């Protein structure tokens, strides 16, 4: 069994961005450029927030469209990025129906969730958790 980040209840989310900053801090940098989790308002703060994470699909559409096989499907669900194979075409971004792939402008490659769960440790409101891929 493998694990992924799952959304418990997006209505609990306050949009603080602590999770996004944490994800970026994996590289000990300050910012949003390398974050794999994305929080935005659902069309204005009054409507609450949308929490977008990689769902670790069993049959991942991103991997299917990658012309260089730079996204390796992981046993049990999800993908792994092989950076030196990636040519930065961005097809994967378009293929993900959840919009869960953000772009790292600095290296011109996608940011792919590594399912490490670091963001979960910094969500103050229990919006996200680590869950086994079902």
Positions that interact with other proteins (CB under 8 A): 11, 14-18, 20-21, 24-25, 27-34, 38-41, 43-46, 48, 102, 104-108, 122, 124-125
Taking CB under 6 A as the rule, does residue 14 contact ligand SF4? yes
134 binds, among other proteins, ligand SF4, none (CB under 5 to 8 A by kind): none
User: Applying CB under 6 A, what is the total number of residues that bind ligand SF4?
Assistant: 14
Near ligand SF4 by CB under 6 A, which window of 26-34, 87-95, 99-107, 119-127? 119-127
Q: Which residue has the tokens 């949003």?
A: 32
Taking CB under 6 A as the rule, does residue 19 contact ligand SF4? yes
Nearer to ligand SF4, 16 or 95 (CB): 16
51 binds, among ligand SF4, other proteins, none (CB under 5 to 8 A by kind): ligand SF4
CB 14, CB 89: distance < 8 Å: no
Smallest distance, Å, CB 21 to ligand SF4?
8
H or E element at residue 91: helix 91-95
Q: How far apart are CA 89 and CA 100, in angstroms?
A: 16
Q: Which residues contact 19 (CB under 8 A, 6 or more apart)?
A: 37, 39, 119, 120, 122, 123, 127, 128
Q: How far is CA 47 from CA 6, 41, 52, 97, 99, in A?
A: 21, 7, 16, 22, 19
């Amino acid at each position: 069994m493998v694990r992924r980040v799952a959304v418990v209840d997006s209505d609990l989310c306050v949009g603080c961005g602590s999770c996004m900053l944490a994800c970026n801090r994996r590289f000990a940098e300050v910012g949003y450029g390398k974050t794999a989790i994305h929080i935005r308002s659902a069309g204005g703060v009054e409507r609450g927030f949308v929490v977008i994470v990689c769902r670790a699909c069993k049959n991942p559409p991103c991997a299917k469209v990658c012309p260089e096989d730079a996204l390796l499907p992981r046993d049990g669900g999800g993908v792994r990025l092989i950076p030196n194979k990636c040519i930065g075409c961005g097809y994967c971004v378009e293929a993900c129906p959840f919009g869960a792939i953000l772009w790292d402008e600095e290296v011109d490659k996608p940011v792919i969730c590594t399912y490490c769960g670091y963001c979960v440790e910094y969500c103050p409101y229990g919006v996200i958790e680590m869950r086994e891929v079902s």
